[in-house]
Each structure stands twice: as C-alpha cells, then as structure tokens.
Amino acid sequence: MPLNALIVVDKPAAWTSHDVVAKARRILGERSVGHLGTLDPMATGVLPLVTGQLTRLSQFYTASAKAYEGAIRLGVATDTYDCDGEAMGTAQDVQVTLEEVRSAASGFVGRIQQMPPPFSAKKIQGVPAYKLARRKQEVDLRPVEVEIQEFTIYGLKGELVEFQCRVSSGTYVRSLAHELGQKLGIGAHLATLRRTAVAEFTLEQSYTLEQIAEAAAEGCLQQLCIHPRLILPQIPCVTATEEDLGKIRHGRAVNLPELSRSPWVKVFAGQAELVCVASRVAGTLFHPKVVLM
C-alpha cells in the first residue's frame, strides 16, 4: 500500500537533495518521493519530503518563503559564491566593524534585483548554468527580482559574519553573501548555511535520516509525519460525508455550505485522511482540483 506522508528531513552536509530522496525511497520502500525546495550540498537543515499521493501537493509550494542561518566569510570571493568553490584572487585583510557590515546588509532588505551564481541549476537555453560554467563556457545570466524579508547580522568573529535571513522563493543566499562582499569592497563567500524553515515547516519538526530509518524499522513512522491537517494551514479543512466522497472520487463538484468565502478547501475523510484539495466554483460549490484518493 502506498505511503502518503510528509516528513521533514534535517538534510546532512555534502548530500544533494536528490541523494536524500534516493535514500528515503530505500528507507520507506516507496518509489514516489519528492522534496519541497532544493538545498545546495553544502547546506543543512529543513528539507520536507512528500511521498505517495501527497507528492501532488508540491505545486502549492513552488513559491514558498524560506528562512536560513549561517556564516559568511569575508576577505575572499569564490567562483561558486560558497566554500565549495575556488578562490577568486588573493585574500584581503578584513578590517570592517560589525556596524559597517550591518549597514551594508540593510541595503539588501526589500525587493531587489539579484544575479544568480554562475554555478547554479538556473537554466540557460535549457542547460543548467553550472554545466556551462564547468565547461568554461560563457554563462549569460540575468538578474531576477527577489524579496529579502530579513537579513539580520548578529555577530562578527574575525572574518566570519553570523547572520539569519528570510527570503522569497528563488533567492540565492550564496549571491547575497557574494554581493555583501562586493558592497564592503573586500570579497566574501558563504561559509555555512542551515535552512531553518520552508513555508510552514521548521527545524523543530525535522528528523535525521537515521531517525527516520529507525522509526521505519520499528513500525512507528507515522509518529514522525506531519499531520495532514497541518499541511497548507492557510487552506481551511472540512470533513466530507460519504456522499460527497463518492462525488469526489468521480471528479464531481460538491456543496460545502460552511465554506462560502474560501477560494480553496482541504477535504478529509475522517480526521486524518486528506482526499483532495478543491477550489471554489461559485457560492458554496467546490470542484476537486487535486484528488489524493
């Protein structure tokens, strides 16, 4: 029987998001596994996984905001904008104050035009930028508008700037580090990065792959899963009648009089089985858009 679940993984360093998905497939014995938001290999932290029918909910998370904490190393830029890259030029002396770094960082808050890193998955005429960069081919990247909701500098220890940030989908924290170094005139790159939140999912809800494997072996995996009623909290829930469930199975609209104002609704069979996400057609009539049963 397919496992329909959402589990928040605490991704380890040096693993790609694809590595985590592949490992989860083996642990869970489930072929249909996806993730909600790629993390660079050097980064750790929140990587929500969806399995079975719940992979169809990924479409609701393509524009999710994210939160991070980490450290930026001042004095040298790298070609990847992070610690995995090669240094660009010689290291410079770091003689800036915490106040100067905070002042420079404040200029990035709000909607800004950001240039993606040359070593990224951003596609140029169908080819990921990192493939072109590795072939020493010209990478013609263009800036994109992103929103930096928060960029807080809370420490400066030698060459390391400690920070936390909340950003819109599509933001590269690596680029943020690189551009901060440019603004300070001394170069910089991302030294460490830990994602603390994706949409409604937080680090406090996450588990290591080892913990997930242990729970699966002991038959108590459900204890680690996010309860379906907590997924997409901005969309209200309703428990369907047997008659309505029959209509939903056949893709027919259902009348939900208690939800006359919401554009979307999560429909449940009982307390924990999410059967569909429906959109309002008119009045109290809702049509199933994503059926999960």
Looking at residue 91, what is its pLDDT? 83
My answer on whether 134 and 78 are in the same domain is: yes
Selected catalytic residue, list 40, 93, 140, 244: 40
Task: State the CATH number of the domain containing residue 267.
Answer: 2.30.130.10
- Residue 7, φ and ψ in degrees, nearest 5: -125, 135
My answer on whether 123 and 38 are in the same domain is: no
List the domain range (segments joined by +) for residue 51.
5-64+200-226
Residues 39-76: tens digit of each pLDDT: 988 999 999 999 999 999 999 999 999 999 999 999 99
Q: What is the pTM of this model?
A: 0.90
Looking at residue 129, what is its pLDDT? 39
My answer on whether 58 and 146 are in the same domain is: no
Instruction: Label residue 20 exposed, middle or buried (CB < 10 Å: 0-12, 13-18, 19+).
Output: buried
For 168-178, b where at least 16 C-beta lie within 10 A, e where not — what string? Answer: eeebbbbbbbb
Q: Would you call 287 helix, strand, or coil by DSSP?
A: strand
Task: State the CATH number of the domain containing residue 205.
Answer: 3.30.2350.10
My answer on whether 137 and 112 are in the same domain is: yes
Q: How far is CA 151 from CA 45, 154, 167, 227, 267, in A?
A: 18, 10, 8, 31, 38
My answer on whether 185 and 113 are in the same domain is: yes
Average confidence (pLDDT) over 22-49:
95
Q: Tell me how many domains the chain contains.
A: 3
Residues 239-280: tens digit of each pLDDT: 999 999 999 999 999 998 877 688 999 999 999 999 999 999
Assess whether 93 carries a catalytic annotation: no
My answer on whether 133 and 211 are in the same domain is: no
Residues 188-212: tens digit of each pLDDT: 999 999 999 999 999 999 999 999 9
Q: Is there a contact between 144 and 170 (Cβ–Cβ < 8 Å)?
A: yes
